[in-house]
Structure 1
Amino acid sequence: MPTLPHVTWLKAFEAAARHNSFSSAAAELNLTPAAVSQQIRLLEQHLKAQLFQRLPRGVKLTDIGLAYAQTIRKSFDEMAAATDGLFGKQRKREVRVRAAISSATLVIAPRLAEFQNAHPDVIVRFVTSIWADRFDLYNLDLDIRWGLGTWDEPLVQHLGHESAVPVCHPDFAAALGNAPDVAALAQSQVVQIIGSETDWRKLSDLHGLNIGPTADWMFADSSLSALQIVSAGTGVTMVLESFARPYLERGELIVPVECKLPKRRAHYLVTRDEAAQRDEVRQFAAWITGLYRDLLSD
């Protein structure tokens, strides 16, 4: 049987893989970055494999390093669970959830207290992403993704159909005239959301508007960023109604035209197969499903 690596090497590797940084791993483990680097170097020598690429700025897992990190992370989690279960005090259950940054910030986070109040024995570990199409090193239980639902995981649940609308600051709309139309908006200062640049053309085609190319002013990698940009007073963007709702309710933005674009893509709840039978995972899945059902029925 091959000799197992020293556990301190594995701890340094797991922390560095999770943070994608030797310095952050060192801070977590109360070590120096040099000590973490040395422990990982010893692990690589022991395994006769390179686990990290050393880049001019930072490090990056190699393919074999990524695969090994997932296994080591799972092993540490299982050891921690076994130790707590056999020797520790009664602890709260935990559900690990990820969502895209805009839905996390604008839809889910403001309502998380509702779930916590209903399930005080469950701790929610909530992380965000810009683009995500698979489970990764976070060892997640649930993932709220935006897309077509064509991922490899078997447990994918559609959360409902949504529409996008143009939104802008009230003063910006007033500066375009008493009743600006879609063409005027599209030729003003458009904040495009990366990945949704064709929405204006689709809106034009759907409603027979023939608005032509848009006057793009800025590009943002999330609806949240686009909303923050236009709520400052300049520009117009096309976002999901569910994302715009908090800004509309506060009077920071308006929908200047009555045109909607039904979206082909949607939000989906993806459940990690291994987590599907845990009560806390089922409870959160039921809650998020109900949240979107109520949100989209308003």
Structure 2
Amino acid sequence: MGGLGGLAGLAVAGAAALVAFGLHLLLPAVPLLTAAVGLGMVAGQIPACQRLLDGVLKPGIAIAARRLLRIGIVLLGLKLSLVDIAGLGWQTIVLIVLIVAITFVATLFFGRLMRLPGTQPILIAAGFSICGASAIGAMSAVTRSKDEDTATPIALVTLCGTLAIFILPVLRIPLGLSVEDFGVWVGLSVHDVGQVVATAQIAGPVALAAAVVVKLTRVLTLAPMVAIVGLVERRADARNDALGAGHPDYVERPAARRPPIVPLFIVGFIAAVLVRTVVPLPDAVLNVADIVQTALLAMALFALGTNIRFRTLARTGWRAFIVGLASWALIAGLSLGAVLLH
């Protein structure tokens, strides 16, 4: 039964990815991956769908949300060339790293200050500072997050990234930004790669090119950030084990084995970046990899979207909503300041 459920869930996720692609063709302003998350969120609210998602489809949905997401992250590395990133200049690269680090730490601190449950603070911090839902999925692996802790950050980063598509282009002219500066601002402040493309392309190819290179440089920070969190988690586990269950400071942690400092799929992501940098891959190979990566991420994000329940979110998610908006405002403000002062 589990095998049939796995196939059925994967088939539904695949069908949803095709529908999302159709919606993107009809409404090019809506990124395919955003449409996929949206479809999952809608399906998650319908009682009949909920019963299927929590029943026969659950094994396949779980595979899509975890394994396919990780394969998609590995293939995302083929979009990154260290040569293109080096072309930005060391000052810009340092600036990008600083903005990512400041936003991550500030969001994590604010999330804990607002007493968000479970691993939500660190997942929201990763999603808003690095690369949206992909970063949330990667970080959830090393923090051993529950599905309910992952659902709210996914919803928030999707909402804010979608709003950026419509809000940032309207602000370009009042802020006096050149086309290239606008692209840099978008690359620095918008979350998912698809949302960056949808936002920057409104200002033309020059803005789009600048936005994509800057954004992919942000994506590159995913590996070291995941490694740092993995190291912290392992040390926390070791301290916890040393205290023992009878100690007053002992914290009940997941029974699963300690997470690796760098998960295997992050190693694959780094390897893909190196391959793209040193091997002259044909355009046909890159195009196929891009299609496969987009399809896998669409299936994964649909699956993640189905875990979102608006009723629960309305009851418990208002604090997370405040943290998400604050994080979005912070990274947009920092990025705009950097662009204007550059």
TM-score (norm 1): 0.25
Of Structure 1 and Structure 2, the greater strand share is in 1
Asked which structure has the greater RCO (Cα within 8 Å, sep 6+), the reply is 2
Write 1 or 2 for the structure with the bigger share of helix.
2
With normalisation by structure 2, the TM-score equals 0.22
